Structure 1
Amino acid sequence: MLLDRIYKLPIGYSEVIYENKKYGLTRADFNRGNSIKIYARELGGKNFISLNYYITNKQDLLKPCEMSDKKVIHFLKNLMILE
């Protein structure tokens, strides 16, 4: 489940590896944790990932920013958090 992957990301800034490249990732939670914003930029590169995730009474909503759901889902499922 995507939400489980999102919850594993630390709130604030962290670094992750995706497709053998390092990304600076920021996670911010709003509305008592019902809205989550994630932005990741490839360090030294041009790629980025940007999304909002909303938790409602009826359903969870993934809302990528100017990119496909597929790209965002692949990123979330395949990133590795650096400790």
Structure 2
Amino acid sequence: MTISDDFLLAWDALPDGNFDGLYDGRRYGITKTVRAGGRQGWIWAEELGGTDRISGNLYRLKNGAQLKPCEMLEAKVVDFVTRVQPIG
């Protein structure tokens, strides 16, 4: 899957660090970290009071961005990042 500019804009718009967010009407505790001058990032989200998890690494390489989801489909991470609404 090609990483779209919309995904990258949504990724960049999410706060770094820990925050809560709403996705599909459910509340998630989210951690986003960025390293190496923005070239590497990681996101972990856990549904509060539920069982859903989201996890993936983003690498911004010279030949383009690559998303490496952790034990889930890439489409799930992309959908979460582009649709989650930070709270507060």
Please classify the TM superposition score into its range, dividing by the shorter chain length: over 0.9
Give the TM-score of the pair, scaled to structure 1. Answer: 0.95
| Residue pairs, 1:1-83, within 5 angstroms | 1-83=6-88
- The alignment-based identity, stated in percent, is 34
Over 3 Å off, 4+ runs: none
Q: How many angstroms does 1:42 deviate by?
A: 0.3
Q: Deviations over 1:34-76 (max 9, x none)?
A: 0000000000111010000000111100111000011111111
How many pairs align? 83
C-alpha distance in 1 between matches for 2:82 and 2:63: 24
Unaligned runs of at least 5 residues, structure 2: 1-5
C-alpha distance in 2 between matches for 1:76 and 1:9: 8
C-alpha distance in 2 between matches for 1:26 and 1:7: 13
What CA RMSD, in Å, does the superposition of the two structures yield over aligned residues?
Answer: 0.8
Give the TM-score of the pair, scaled to structure 2. Answer: 0.90
Q: Deviations over 1:17-41 (max 9, x none)?
A: 0011000000101111100000000
